[in-house]
Structure 1
Amino acid sequence: MVVPYNPALAVEYAIQFGYQAQNGIFKRMSEDCTNFISQCIWAGYGGTEGYSLTNEADILALRERVAKNYRQTSIWYGRNYASSAPLASMAFIRVEELWNYVTTNQGNGPRAIGYNNRQYWGYAPVDLALGDVLQFYHSNLGRYGHTVMVTSTSENPQPIESALGNVYVAQHTADYSFRPFGDVLETNGGIEGAWMRVLKFTDANF
């Protein structure tokens, strides 16, 4: 079945749970940034559709959805809050693995077009829109090391040259629902030097 990516559902999840350490649906990982953003992507593909993110009974129902691998795949899957398994899949929780999976996936599961890989953030050739996923390079690691989701712009989409004062993101570790884009750049390579790549999600099969 073809499932469209709904940025509004992804952003709703990101805002609701960005500032919270635990949401009762998915298990938190020790380094949680990509694990959390994968949850937001899952919501964008209808993982939370039909349920409230604030009602306790609905939270339990969503937890059960995760346990049944609803809108997940054998490669890209999270662990629900009550799971005894220590880790989700690497494509779900690791920065590089998420990028590699969604930009090359030809089977079931999330798909995205990647932009600006290994480039200065200001060179990004696309406008930033709600529900976009951004990843930042860490020179000390020699790889991309942080993942966030765009949750607010003064316009939609937002030209990259205007992003510093107008774009906000959700992330985990540390936990934010509306972190200023410039602040993320400052702590992930600096405004003058940060490398940032962009994922724009598309229709997928589940």
Structure 2
Amino acid sequence: MGMAWQNELKLHLQKLSDFWVERNLDRYQLMEDQEKKAIHRKKAGLRERGVDILKAEVSGNILGTTVHGSERTVDYFYRLRLFQKQQDTFFFEDVQTKRRATFKEGELIKDSSRAVESSVMDVQDVPTKLPQDEWRMPGKGKGKGKGIIYDRLAAVKYADRWWDAYNPKFRAFDVDCTNYVSQCVFAGGGPMNGQYNKHSGWWYEGNRWSLSWAVAHSFRWYLASEGNRLGAVAVEHPEQLQPGDVICYDFEGDGHWDHSTIVTEKDGKGMPLVNAHTTNSRHRYWAYEDSTAWTQNIKYKFYHFND
């Protein structure tokens, strides 16, 4: 049997590439139900938006393998690039995530995503709802962001540079979405404040950081507070956002904010495409209907930075 599982995995990755372009459904039998539903939603969303997938590229890097009797599990990094066309606009989407393939006697019997869009990390030490007073800085309630020039290009360049990697100047978290977005906003000139109380302001230094820097729920409430120094203003609709702005996600609609992304591009109809960490993504459609964490109760908050 030897290395038969490696050849089987290579064939599987090739079929996953064909799956997106040719809509061949034979790969579904290897996926878990939650992921199947997410893929159905993504394909339905592409049709509704009038997006055609012209080409798909899939690759994988093996992280480790374990053998138990006749079964072998293989953890690997999966990278997908979708070349898309919408009206006269061409763009691409990248996703990189961890997956686990299970083989029995060399035959692939299961392939599942190991990605988690939200995690228990985002509820540690954080109340269900933070009052705005928690973040208010004395004398700074009015004119927030005054005098700050937000460099959107710098924020987007940083987002594209580090979407699939981790800047060694900052700690990398298992749930890294908000840490990554905070870094992008900081690269665009967002000012830190509130050091060194983790419940105050928005800041990172050495091995310390505020909850609002790294926790999605806290970041959302900091942006909404009178004390935010970033010049963030909530807007009603996603099309009002520009590259460099951010979106916050409450997947369950229960008041706990789970995820953060940064807008890095617009599609052919002017809707945001976002970058994110945890499931590392570039130019992903903003609504996240392709996420296994998505529910019909999802809520969004859209924040535009004054510049």
TM-score (norm: length of structure 1): 0.65
Give, in angstroms, the shift of residue 152 of structure 1. Answer: 1.1
Assess if the C-alpha contact under 8 Å between 2:253 and 2:298 holds in 1: no
The one-character-per-residue Cα deviations of 1:91-135 (angstroms, maximum 9, x if unpaired) are 11111211221222347x32311234xxxxxxx275232111011
- Greater strand percent: which structure? 2
Cα separation, partners in 2 of 1:147 and 1:31, compared to 1, 3 Å: same
Instruction: Give me the whole-angstrom Cα distance separating, in 1, the residues matched to 2:204 and 2:280.
Output: 19
Instruction: Give me the whole-angstrom Cα distance separating, in 1, the residues matched to 2:234 and 2:150.
Output: 15
**Superposition map of 1:52-71 within 5 A:** 71=191
Which one of 176, 179, 182 corresponds to residue 284 of structure 2? 179
Consecutive unaligned residues in structure 2, runs of 5 or more: 1-145, 195-200
In structure 1, the residue matched to 2:233 is 113
Instruction: Give me the whole-angstrom Cα distance separating, in 2, the residues matched to 1:88 and 1:29.
Output: 12
Q: How many residue pairs are counted as aligned between the two chains?
A: 155
The aligned amino acid for 2:168 is G
Instruction: Give me the whole-angstrom Cα distance separating, in 1, the residues matched to 2:233 and 2:246.
Output: 11
Consecutive unaligned residues in structure 1, runs of 5 or more: 47-70, 117-123
Identity %, equivalent residues: 23
Quote the RMSD (CA, aligned, Å): 2.6
In structure 2, the residue matched to 1:43 is 187
Which one of 180, 189, 193 corresponds to residue 73 of structure 1? 193
Structure with bigger gyration radius:
2
**Superposition map of 1:1-206 within 5 A:** 2-20=147-165, 22-45=166-189, 71-74=191-194, 75-79=201-205, 83=206, 85=207, 87-106=208-227, 109-116=229-236, 124=237, 126-139=239-252, 142-154=255-267, 158=270, 163=271, 167-181=272-286, 184-187=288-291, 188-189=293-294, 194-202=298-306
Three-state SS of the structure 2 residue aligned to 1:185 is coil
Instruction: Give me the whole-angstrom Cα distance separating, in 2, the residues matched to 1:111 and 1:170.
Output: 21
Higher RCO, 1 vs 2 (CA within 8 Å, ≥6 residues apart): 1
The aligned amino acid for 2:220 is W
Three-state SS of the structure 2 residue aligned to 1:110 is coil
The aligned amino acid for 1:197 is K
Instruction: Give me the whole-angstrom Cα distance separating, in 2, the residues matched to 1:45 and 1:95.
Output: 20
Three-state SS of the structure 2 residue aligned to 1:11 is helix
Assess if the C-alpha contact under 8 Å between 2:244 and 2:264 holds in 1: yes
Cα separation, partners in 2 of 1:125 and 1:174, compared to 1, 3 Å: closer
